[in-house]
Amino acid sequence: MQLEHILRSYARYAPVYDHTFGWLLNFRGRSLAAHLTNRRPGRILEVGVGTGISLPFYRKEHQVHGIDISPHMLERARRRVHSKNLDHVVRLEIMDAREMAFPDDYFDAVVAAYVMSVVPEPQRVLREIERVCKAGGDVIIVNHFAADKKGTRRHFEALLSPLSHKLGWRPDMPIDEILAHTSLHEVRRQTLPPMGLFTLLHLKKASPDFADPART
């Protein structure tokens, strides 16, 4: 994925996103991701906040920061914050997730919903997510990942793959592209509707006193 293709795609999608992709991508995935951050108040980052569909799901005691690369999507997020009086949203800004302007160990939780197969250099984005998350903090990723077995779905993903630049997302991204390139450890994995097309990954950044059993 190249940045210019992504920006063009989301300039097209922004006016109709909530009424087309929004209803599908909002179905459980975004609310579940936000719910996993809601166990205690904290500083939350949503990477790829888009039009801000997720923002009402976060508890009011949070300090929610949202970033996105698309000014068209972000403008709609700002309107949503204003119209719904979402006072817990303290910052919305244009930012490239590959190089975030936040200090190390800054957020209690980071959410990236429907982002990783859209961004250029997802491994670099993941490293940045890991960097800005506090030790012991939560990282929640929701995404479509390629089917791990041969069949109709995997065949369809392969057919769509050459159209990635036009679609604005990668339909054939393997889940190992996330899990094999991070020191975050997996807490939970859950398939989501419709038809199990999406997966929620709950990852955690190790605390200084955490010993990964797989490495001992």
CA atoms within 13 A on the CB side of 21: 18
Whole-angstrom Cα distance, residue 54 to residue 92? 13
**How does pLDDT run across 125-139, given as a tens digit for each residue?**
999 999 999 999 999
DSSP 173: -
Structure tokens at 167: 């679609």
**How does pLDDT run across 24-50, given as a tens digit for each residue?**
555 578 889 999 999 899 999 999 999
Crossing angle between the packed helical segments 71-83 and 3-13, to the nearest 10 degrees: 40
pLDDT of residue 89: 98
- The alpha carbon dihedral of 15, 88, 41, 209 has a sign of positive
- Summary mean pLDDT of the chain: 85
Q: Which of 60, 56, 55 is nearest to 41 (CA)?
A: 60
Q: For the whole model, what pTM was predicted?
A: 0.83
